[in-house]
Amino acid sequence: MTDPQIALFMLGIFIIIIFLGFPIAFTLMAMGISFGYYAYFDSSRMWRAYNRAVESGADAWTQTDLWVEGLFNNRIFDLFVNQTYSVMTNEVLTAVPLFLFMGYIVERANIVARLFTTLNIASRRIPGSMAVAALITCTLFATATGIVGAVVTLMGLLALPAMLNARYETSFASGIICAGGTLGILIPPSIMLIVYAASSGVSIVQLYAGALFPGLLLAGLYLCYVVGRAIVQPSVAPRPRPDEVPDIPMGQLILLLLTSFFPLAFLILAVLGTILFGLATPTEAASIGALGGLVLAVSYRALTWDRLRESVYLTVRTTAMVCWLFVGSWTFSSVFSYLGGEQVITEFVTGLDITPLQFLLLAQLIIFLLGWPLEWSEIIIIFVPIFLPLLPHFGIDPLFFGILVALNLQTSFLTPPMAMSAYYLKGIAPPHVQLVQIFKGCFPFLLLVFVSMAVLYIKPEIALWLPQQIYGR
């Protein structure tokens, strides 16, 4: 077999292994090192020290030690160590644990319950008012945390029973929680965009600027669908009875908004604003966000030692997963490229004689299908870099491509059979809520994701206008 054929064999074996359920980060590292040992094998380097020992008349034990040492005298081990060090010193990735810590602290500060209650009262005269309140709460909370599982789980415990008690259709209520909970990986400050920036080399601040309007577009489409469905089909979202939502005085409502809605919204806007306008780096802004989350938790009297310890533990665990994925992915991709696999794929795609639009559709279709068995972090770190070298050939802006990918990855949480949002919700939903009902509720929101992607294809200025205005790109 030629080296490029071995590279493709390496990729095929990896895909088979991850479908079997093996841990992806360690699979990447193991395959990268094993195939890299072959790729970088140099017999002269391996035997150099041993031969010198033999020529100098060293004893048998010394010769054996040098022979064993020679087995590990392969450049793949140097590459692995360097890749690990590169991940540890990557300034972009430093923001990941800080944003995660902010999210976990906010999640445990009982802010979300207050926020949902306040928005439910404020929107009581809007059709589907509780659905609107749940969706806005999901959006804000998802933006603050960027952790889909946490948002869907907490909102499933908080808002789903309330909507079911208010006689909302089960599938309609379930779809709102699942779709709203995924918005955090798109709307800045997003962990996913940080990971894409580290993988692609695109400026994270420009990615945040580019993702803002597409994220708001998708959230707006969700809201329009919820209100429109409630108007056209009132039975799915009945208007609240007077005893279900209190009609409180305006002054008291404003006070509720000031104490529950605005602190979290202000924290998110402050973090995002300092990044977009160059007042702070993403890492510095993430530090502000983490400190702000602690201040909110203290002000709501919700910060305990157990909650703080749990937040730190979850932050470390999630950060370690992301970083080891990067180490494994960069090692794997370096060996794959060295063997000529990347060149084979590039030559194959460029030889298809397709237009840039056709390439975009093909790439997004592949990413959509990968979203069935894989999580977004694995797709961004492992598979998206395969497409990145092809973007200059088709004249596609990597920033625009990243926003399309971020939109597309919303579907990975909503598409059966591995719709993780649905499984998160099913895990904490009342027993009578069936998984098929949750899937049914996710389907309209899945279509809206495709609509938003089509709009972005037609009007790329939605993603590119703000970065051009702020950064002149």
Residue listed under structure tokens 């054929």 = 5
Report pLDDT for 222: 95
**Per residue in 232-255, is it b (16+ CB within 10 Å) or e — as a string?**
eeeebbbbbeeeebeeeeeeebee
- The model's pLDDT over 277-314, given as tens digits with 9 standing for 90+, comes to 888 888 888 888 888 888 888 888 888 888 889 888 88
- The model's pLDDT over 363-378, given as tens digits with 9 standing for 90+, comes to 888 888 887 777 777 7
Report pLDDT for 414: 85
Q: How many domains does the structure of the chain reveal?
A: 2
pLDDT band at 97; cut points 50, 70, 90:
confident
Burial of 24 (0-12, 13-18, 19+ CB in 10 A): buried
Q: Peptide bond preceding 417: is omega within 30 degrees of 0, i.e. cis?
A: yes
Burial of 59 (0-12, 13-18, 19+ CB in 10 A): exposed
Q: Which residues neighbour 293 within 8 Å (Cβ) at sequence distance 6 or greater?
A: 101, 102, 103, 105, 106, 109, 144, 267
Do residues 450 and 222 touch, judged by C-beta distance below 8 A? no
Closest CA to 184 of 103, 66, 255: 103
Report pLDDT for 63: 57
Within-domain flag for 18: no
Write out the two tokens for 271.
Answer: 């973090």
Range of the domain at 198: 95-471
Neighbours of 42 (CB within 10 A): 11
Write out the two tokens for 70.
Answer: 């020679």
- In this structure, the answer to whether residues 51 and 151 fall within a common structural domain is no
- The model's pLDDT over 298-355, given as tens digits with 9 standing for 90+, comes to 888 888 888 889 888 888 888 888 888 888 888 888 888 888 877 787 777 777 778 8
DSSP 108: T
Within-domain flag for 279: yes
Containing H/E element for 256? helix 250-256
Measure the CA angle with vertex 9, ends 6 and 12; round to 5°. Answer: 155
pLDDT band at 83; cut points 50, 70, 90:
confident
Cα dihedral 338/344/347/352 (nearest 10): -150
Residue listed under structure tokens 């798109």 = 186
Q: Which residue would you say has higher pLDDT here, 208 or 53?
A: 208
- In this structure, the answer to whether residues 108 and 62 fall within a common structural domain is no
- In this structure, the answer to whether residues 110 and 68 fall within a common structural domain is no
Within-domain flag for 32: no
- In this structure, the answer to whether residues 131 and 72 fall within a common structural domain is no
Would the CA dihedral through 319, 321, 325, 327 be positive or negative?
positive
Do residues 182 and 142 touch, judged by C-beta distance below 8 A? yes
Within-domain flag for 136: yes
- The model's pLDDT over 137-194, given as tens digits with 9 standing for 90+, comes to 888 887 777 677 778 888 888 888 888 888 899 999 999 999 998 888 888 888 888 8
Distance CA 343, CA 339 (A): 9
- In this structure, the answer to whether residues 184 and 223 fall within a common structural domain is yes
Do residues 127 and 227 touch, judged by C-beta distance below 8 A? yes
- In this structure, the answer to whether residues 198 and 303 fall within a common structural domain is yes
- In this structure, the answer to whether residues 152 and 275 fall within a common structural domain is yes
Within-domain flag for 13: no
- In this structure, the answer to whether residues 181 and 236 fall within a common structural domain is yes
Write out the two tokens for 191.
Answer: 């962990």
- In this structure, the answer to whether residues 72 and 127 fall within a common structural domain is no
Within-domain flag for 19: no
Report pLDDT for 52: 63
Percent of the chain at pLDDT above 90?
Answer: 17
**Average pLDDT score over the chain:** 83
- The model's pLDDT over 378-422, given as tens digits with 9 standing for 90+, comes to 788 878 888 888 898 889 999 999 999 999 988 888 887 677 788
Measure the CA angle with vertex 176, ends 290 and 102; round to 5°. Answer: 5
pTM value is: 0.82
Q: Report in angstroms the alpha-carbon separations of 264 from 17, 146, 253, 330, 375.
A: 42, 14, 17, 36, 28
Do residues 360 and 404 touch, judged by C-beta distance below 8 A? yes
Distance CA 127, CA 139 (A): 19
The one-letter amino acid at 80: F
- In this structure, the answer to whether residues 222 and 299 fall within a common structural domain is yes
Report pLDDT for 226: 94
Within-domain flag for 21: no
- In this structure, the answer to whether residues 65 and 135 fall within a common structural domain is no
Distance CA 427, CA 177 (A): 13
The DSSP string of 288-346 is HHHHHHHHHHHHTT---HHHHHHHHHHHHHHHHHHHHHHHHHHHHHHHHHHTTHHHHHH
Write out the two tokens for 56.
Answer: 């100098």
The DSSP string of 2-71 is -HHHHHHHHHHHHHHHHHTT--HHHHHHHHHHHHHHHHT--HHHHHHHHHHHHHTT--HHHHHHHHHHHH
Within-domain flag for 406: yes
Q: Report in angstroms the alpha-carbon separations of 19 from 14, 15, 363.
A: 9, 6, 20
Q: Report in angstroms the alpha-carbon separations of 200 from 204, 243, 318.
A: 10, 53, 21
- In this structure, the answer to whether residues 52 and 175 fall within a common structural domain is no
- The model's pLDDT over 227-267, given as tens digits with 9 standing for 90+, comes to 999 999 998 988 877 666 666 776 776 777 877 777 878 88
